[in-house]
Amino acid sequence: MPGTHNYFGTDSIAGGVSTQGQGGEIGIYSYNVYSQLFPFIERDRMRAKVEQILVSDDGDPMDFAVTGSTDPAVYGLEGDPFITWNPHNQSSNNSAPGAGLAPGPGTMSFLDRISNNVFRMYDYAKRNSDTEFLRFAYPAMKQALGLLQKTIPSDSVLPEPTSQANPQPGNVQQMADLYNAMPTDRFDSYTSGLYLLTLETMIASGQTLGEAPLQISTWQSQLKAAKAKYESVFWNAEQGYYRYTLPQNGADEVMLNTLLPQYLAERAALPDIVDRAHYTQHLESMYPLVAGANGPKLVGTPASQADYPFTGPQGHVYEPNVLPGAAFSAAANYVAAGKKFQDSSLTTQGVSMAQAVITQLWDTPANGYAFDTPYIYSSQTPSKWVYPDFENNLSIWQLIDALNRPGKPATSGDGK
């Protein structure tokens, strides 16, 4: 398309094989930088994503990528020595999790990527009053939603990504979402919440573009059923939080970024994703389970529980440790909720979580993180890290945005 210029964004200087900033599961944490400061970059990335979706078989093309090796022989095997695109389920040599499997319940990994793409297309158009772009993207958004709904099993109304507890033949790596080393049992609240956000996004987009009333009504019915299922499956009334995945023999867990979809919905003036009363209770209950002197853990468990319900193939790499990108994003959620409900304690907790991470990144020179923030660092020994310079650490801009936006107190029933 004339005037389109794509800017790559590798997920890490360590990997260098991914451009998830173009529209993947990682890019939802960094997109705010581009939407706020460089909207033409966000627009052009989404233009490319629309084109990919429309020419793919199933609506979920893997993000195009910088070739990951310096070995010339590998260039020959992978094709183009500079940029490659291996569409999901289209290439026999595609090593992506779930490649070659027909879209269905439990066969596809990273379902959050599909939802994130749809939301970012809508969010760009809304922020920039670009209805023409929304009209251009709308067919791809509908195709992506259709793919998500192919993963809904007959016994639920929520999408089922790959999971360790319910592996499908041919799918070796069970990677439900961005936090791919954390095992799940069929459903997880993070992916499911993003599906609710996708339905809200499609309803708002369809209403803007004059979609047929019957289609809008169908989506509204699906959203109502999915929200009710989300509450019944994930709400832990005893602990007062939304659990991450299905409980295992009484063991449970709560994940720091569970309510990212709620934050995104608020930011785009869409209806609430979760029950209003449960929203604040979740944040209040989760805080003491994840907060730590060196930053919040990604996953918390009830005080009476000795360990996490699952152990993944890499052990507990994610759960007890600090992910700066996740921490900043969750802090933004707390700050936004504090302003929404005029609850200063939520705002204070959000800032406190972020400050603990900031201390390790920029106030502790011995860690060496000032220009090289890692994806993960140890909550016990912060100088130990995994994967340097990770893209989703740009979620600190979500926090900056939340702190600088004027608060609008919630009124009962407005859903905003």
Q: In this structure, is residue 295 part of a structural domain?
A: yes
Q: In this structure, is residue 8 part of a structural domain?
A: no
**63-69 — which CB contacts under 8 Å span 24+ positions?**
63/18, 63/19, 63/20, 63/22, 63/23, 63/24, 63/113, 64/19, 64/22, 65/17, 65/18, 65/19, 66/8, 66/10, 66/16, 66/17, 66/18, 66/19, 67/17, 68/15, 68/16, 68/17
Q: In this structure, is residue 410 part of a structural domain?
A: no
- What is the secondary structure of 166-210 as a DSSP string? SPPTT--S---SSSTTS--BSBBHHHHHHHHHHHHHHHHHHHHHT
Confidence of residue 100 (pLDDT cuts 50, 70, 90): low
Looking at residues 359-387, what average pLDDT do you find? 95
1-10, 152-161, 246-255: which range is least confident on average? 1-10
Statement: residue 235 has pLDDT above 50: yes
Output the pLDDT for position 222. 98
Confidence of residue 413 (pLDDT cuts 50, 70, 90): very low
* Both structure tokens of 259: 């309510």
Q: Return the amino acid letter for 179.
A: Y
Q: In this structure, is residue 318 part of a structural domain?
A: yes
Output the pLDDT for position 94. 39
- What is the secondary structure of 226-289 as a DSSP string? HHHHHHHHHEETTTTEE-SB--BTTB--EETTTTHHHHHHHHTTPPPSS-HHHHHHHHHHHHHH
Looking at residues 203-227, what average pLDDT do you find? 98
Confidence of residue 410 (pLDDT cuts 50, 70, 90): low
Confidence of residue 348 (pLDDT cuts 50, 70, 90): very high
Looking at residues 348-364, what average pLDDT do you find? 98
Confidence of residue 73 (pLDDT cuts 50, 70, 90): low
Output the pLDDT for position 80. 52
Supply the range of the domain harboring residue 98: 20-404
Which of 17-21, 33-37, 152-156 has the highest mean predicted lDDT (pLDDT)? 152-156
Q: In this structure, is residue 11 part of a structural domain?
A: no
From the list 230, 96, 286, 110, the residue with the least C-alpha distance to 182 is 110
Read off φ and ψ for residue 66, nearest 5 degrees: -75, 135
Output the pLDDT for position 20. 46
pLDDT digits (tens, 9 = 90+) for 388-400: 888 889 999 999 9
DSSP-derived letter for residue 387 is S
pLDDT digits (tens, 9 = 90+) for 268-287: 999 999 999 999 999 999 99
Confidence of residue 221 (pLDDT cuts 50, 70, 90): very high
Statement: residue 59 has pLDDT above 60: yes
Q: In this structure, is residue 81 part of a structural domain?
A: yes
Q: In this structure, is residue 12 part of a structural domain?
A: no
Output the pLDDT for position 82. 54
d(CA 242, CA 253) in angstroms, rounded, equals 9
**Average pLDDT value for the chain:** 87
Instruction: Please name the residues in contact with 162: beta carbons below 8 A apart, sequence gap of 6 or more.
Output: 97, 98, 106, 107, 108, 109, 168, 171, 173, 174, 175, 176
Residue 43's CATH number:
1.50.10.10
pLDDT digits (tens, 9 = 90+) for 114-149: 999 999 999 999 999 999 999 999 999 999 999 999
Q: In this structure, is residue 6 part of a structural domain?
A: no
Domains of the chain: total: 1
